[in-house]
Amino acid sequence: MLARVSKPARYIGMEGGAQRPEHAPHKVAWLLAYPDTYEIGLPNQGLQILYEILNERPDAVAERTYAPWYDLEELLREHEIGLFSVDTHRAASDFDLIGFNLSAELTYTNLLNMVDLAGVPVRSADRRADHPLIAAGGHCTYNPEPLADFLDLVVLGDGEEVVAEITEVVGEWKADARRRGDRTSVLHALAGISGVYVPSLHRPRYDGSTFLGLEPIVAQAPALVEKRTIADLAEFPYPRNQLVPLTEVVHDRLNVEVFRGCTRGCRFCQAGMITRPVRERPAEQVRSMVADGLRRTGYDEVSLTSLSTADYSGIEQLVADIVDADGDGPSITVALPSLRVDAFGVGIATQLQHARRAGLTFAPEAGTWRMRQVINKLIREEDLYSAVEAAFANGWRRVKLYFLTGLPTETDEDTLGIAELARNCIEIGRAHTRAPSVTVSVGGFVPKPFTPFQWFGQNTVEELQRKINLLRDATRRMHGVQVKWHDPKATLVEGIMSRGDRRIGDVLETVWRRGGTFQEWNERFDLPLWLDAMAEHGLDPDWFTHRHRTAEEVLPWDHLSAGLHKDFLWQDWRDALAEVGLPDCRWTPCYDCGACTGYSIEHIVASATPPAGGSQGTGQDLGSGWTPVQLRRPTSDVVSA
């Protein structure tokens, strides 16, 4: 069959670092699943970390699976072959748990499809004790309600510790109650684990179309499910054996996580909010993970990953050490995927000048200083221009600028400000090269749970398209400027999922049953499928997406906690509307967002000293003053968080 499908290497496993674990009746078998293609899913660090942690346990095994592309799916269904693992090609239905990583809303129908392909009823209520438990983790699970009817359990926060507790509970159940056909006892026991949410044990209440909240229906289920936070990243130096694929994948290089969490406080950024507090990996451990990883994998490129890598204390020394450590061996390329625009200067551009000339990406996110104050991305135009100047002066010909549109309080002046920034960047480029190129990439803003913008009414498709058209018109005669944009129709569906409640589950099932898979792929996305399904189930897309929420409204994720105080988020939302910035709390007194205080954890930084001239400001000046890192042969194709 593999000869009849595109990219058969997606399904054969056998990568460097792949494991062929030995299954046994006393071991809990996890199938770690990514609901998108192999190329997107394989590099996922969360799954790779759990893959290793679980396979090190004497009472567990873990394998992997990814969404089969629809050509293989057709063959599997035609020949009645179920979903399988790529490691030992074992049937998915043979595993005790199938654990999904959820990173994007448009993959939700793929999850249903994979569960169905595994031969498991898509609705948790229809499953028997001999079916695998269907679990999910990842950033999207901070509002799991659209998937509540399909998931047996949801894990909030860091997975490193909680997978062990889940394994023990499932192991005990497997040894005893499962044989008696009892599924309820394991769900009750799982609900008692901190960080685990069992949707079937919470009941939603409505008054007409007004959602009144979710309440637990058994004593084991807590009224508020708190996320899990590992206190010390140093205790988890994973992945130790990063997978090395046999075919092209995204982020095809060694990835070493240098810290988790972010305190910059960009108000649109869910990842920054829900992963607080900051926990840095000790520099010595990073150095040894890089050295071991490069040796084991054969990669000559390492990416130091985090949400804002320039903020890692001692980054210059760390990178210098990594580059120096290769001695007379082949040169190492160091990628810093999340540098901020205000950290990119002449020095780093000079260091980077021998790197690949694929282009550099900066993410100012908004076109005017006013708008950047609203979103708390306090990057000044001078910072952007000097970064662009440094890039063009050092031989780059292409620069990509990433923006969001549809942000709260956004006016046409803000949209035209994007064109103005692009024009000025091209002018800067002309001083250095005959044909500079600036690509403006625009994504529609989707408000996310547990951010200050969670109360904001998203822009309509028409409004987003009008702004994109305005920008296209304004840049039409700008030679060298290209505008690319994310389809506003996809933004609408993402918005419905992002803040939808449990009723959206019916829509998901209808779209999936009508063939709506791989909706995150342009060629497969089908808005009428979604709108028809919403209408059939009596749900109004406007109500879910375009409506501003009030302070009093109960939100579908209010029974979950990312550690952040709701009144902090509300105050930050009011500050946003008043165009007031909020400084980085790493270097300022704590303003009690809840992320540290609620968990008795403080930011763990490798060096407690802020960078010289660092971002200790008032929220008006966040130029980091960070000295460029010394790189021998680095690449940095995305230069701003």
* Minimum distance, C-beta of residue 256 to ligand SF4, in the bound complex (Å): 24
Measured from the CB atom, the residue of 158 and 520 that comes closer to ligand SF4 is: 158
Point out which residues pair with 635 in neighbouring strands: 335
Handedness of CA 153, 158, 159, 165 (dihedral sign): negative
Q: How many whole angstroms separate alpha carbon 50 and alpha carbon 172?
A: 20
In our burial notation (b when 16+ CB lie closer than 10 A, e otherwise), range 226-263 reads bbbbbeebbebbbbebbbbbeeebebebbbbbbbbbbb
Measured from the CB atom, the residue of 553 and 592 that comes closer to ligand SF4 is: 592
* Minimum distance, C-beta of residue 140 to ligand SF4, in the bound complex (Å): 22
Measured from the CB atom, the residue of 174 and 276 that comes closer to ligand SF4 is: 276
Residue 275 interacts with ligand SF4 (CB under 6 A)? no
Count CA atoms closer than 13 A to 303's CA, side-chain side.
20
Tell me how far CA of residue 527 lies from CA of 129, 457, 511, 531, in angstroms.
37, 20, 10, 6
**Which listed residue (431, 469, 543, 591) binds ligand SF4 by CB under 6 A?**
591
DSSP code at position 233: G
Residue 263 interacts with ligand SF4 (CB under 6 A)? yes
Residue 157 interacts with ligand SF4 (CB under 6 A)? no
DSSP 134-148: EEEESGGGGS-GGGT
Residue 596 interacts with ligand SF4 (CB under 6 A)? yes
Q: How many whole angstroms separate alpha carbon 260 and alpha carbon 197?
A: 23
Size of the site for ligand SF4 (CB under 6 A): 12
Measured from the CB atom, the residue of 482 and 597 that comes closer to ligand SF4 is: 597
* Minimum distance, C-beta of residue 633 to ligand SF4, in the bound complex (Å): 36
* Minimum distance, C-beta of residue 264 to ligand SF4, in the bound complex (Å): 10
Q: How many whole angstroms separate alpha carbon 543 and alpha carbon 550?
A: 13
Measured from the CB atom, the residue of 413 and 592 that comes closer to ligand SF4 is: 592
Residue 271 interacts with ligand SF4 (CB under 6 A)? no
* Minimum distance, C-beta of residue 604 to ligand SF4, in the bound complex (Å): 11
Q: How many whole angstroms separate alpha carbon 564 and alpha carbon 273?
A: 8
Residues 368 and 413: beta-carbon distance below 8 Å:
yes
* Minimum distance, C-beta of residue 509 to ligand SF4, in the bound complex (Å): 38
Measured from the CB atom, the residue of 543 and 591 that comes closer to ligand SF4 is: 591
Residue 388 interacts with ligand SF4 (CB under 6 A)? no
Classify residue 404 as exposed, middle or buried by CB count within 10 Å of its CB (0-12, 13-18, 19+): buried
**Which listed residue (206, 551, 592, 613) binds ligand SF4 by CB under 6 A?**
592
Tokens standing for 580? 């007031």
Tokens standing for 637? 């194709």
Interface region with ligand SF4, contact rule CB under 6 A, candidates 48-56, 284-292, 591-599, 609-617:
591-599
Interface region with ligand SF4, contact rule CB under 6 A, candidates 189-197, 469-477, 487-495, 595-603:
595-603
Interface region with ligand SF4, contact rule CB under 6 A, candidates 72-80, 398-406, 431-439, 590-598:
590-598
Measured from the CB atom, the residue of 93 and 597 that comes closer to ligand SF4 is: 597
Q: CB count, 10 Å around CB of 72?
A: 21
Between β-strands 28-34 and 254-257, what pairing exists: parallel, antiparallel or unpaired? unpaired
Binders of ligand SF4 among residues 557 to 586 (CB under 6 A) are 585
* Minimum distance, C-beta of residue 565 to ligand SF4, in the bound complex (Å): 9
Residue 262 interacts with ligand SF4 (CB under 6 A)? no
* Minimum distance, C-beta of residue 78 to ligand SF4, in the bound complex (Å): 53
**Which listed residue (388, 483, 569, 593) binds ligand SF4 by CB under 6 A?**
593
Can you tell me whether residue 348 is helix, strand or coil?
Answer: helix
* Minimum distance, C-beta of residue 582 to ligand SF4, in the bound complex (Å): 9
Residue 590 interacts with ligand SF4 (CB under 6 A)? yes
**Which listed residue (194, 247, 433, 597) binds ligand SF4 by CB under 6 A?**
597
DSSP code at position 126: G
Can you tell me whether residue 40 is helix, strand or coil?
Answer: helix
DSSP 521-556: STTT--HHHHHHHHHHTT--HHHHHTSPPPTTPPPT
Residue 426 interacts with ligand SF4 (CB under 6 A)? no
Helix (H) / strand (E) element for 561: namely strand 560-561
Interface region with ligand SF4, contact rule CB under 6 A, candidates 3-11, 339-347, 428-436, 589-597:
589-597
* Minimum distance, C-beta of residue 585 to ligand SF4, in the bound complex (Å): 3
Can you tell me whether residue 97 is helix, strand or coil?
Answer: strand
* Minimum distance, C-beta of residue 268 to ligand SF4, in the bound complex (Å): 17
Measured from the CB atom, the residue of 520 and 572 that comes closer to ligand SF4 is: 572
Residue 307 interacts with ligand SF4 (CB under 6 A)? no
Interface region with ligand SF4, contact rule CB under 6 A, candidates 62-70, 160-168, 401-409, 588-596:
588-596
Q: How many whole angstroms separate alpha carbon 442 and alpha carbon 400?
A: 11
**Which listed residue (245, 277, 364, 452) binds ligand SF4 by CB under 6 A?**
277
Long-range contacts of 165-171 (CB under 8 A, 24+ apart): 165/193, 165/196, 166/97, 166/135, 166/190, 166/193, 166/196, 167/28, 167/30, 167/54, 167/57, 167/59, 167/60, 168/59, 169/193, 170/28, 170/96, 170/97, 170/133, 171/26, 171/27, 171/28, 171/59, 171/60
Measured from the CB atom, the residue of 154 and 585 that comes closer to ligand SF4 is: 585
* Minimum distance, C-beta of residue 619 to ligand SF4, in the bound complex (Å): 13
Residue 41 interacts with ligand SF4 (CB under 6 A)? no
Measured from the CB atom, the residue of 272 and 345 that comes closer to ligand SF4 is: 272
Residue 182 interacts with ligand SF4 (CB under 6 A)? no
Q: How many whole angstroms separate alpha carbon 100 and alpha carbon 114?
A: 10
Residue 272 interacts with ligand SF4 (CB under 6 A)? no
Torsion angle (degrees, nearest 10) of CA 388, 390, 391, 397:
80
* 619 conformational bin, left if phi > 0, alpha if psi -120 to 50, beta if neither: left
**Which listed residue (27, 139, 276, 377) binds ligand SF4 by CB under 6 A?**
276
Tell me how far CA of residue 167 lies from CA of 44, 163, 372, in angstroms.
21, 6, 45
* Minimum distance, C-beta of residue 607 to ligand SF4, in the bound complex (Å): 17
Residues in contact with ligand SF4 by the rule CB under 6 A: 263, 276-277, 585, 590-597
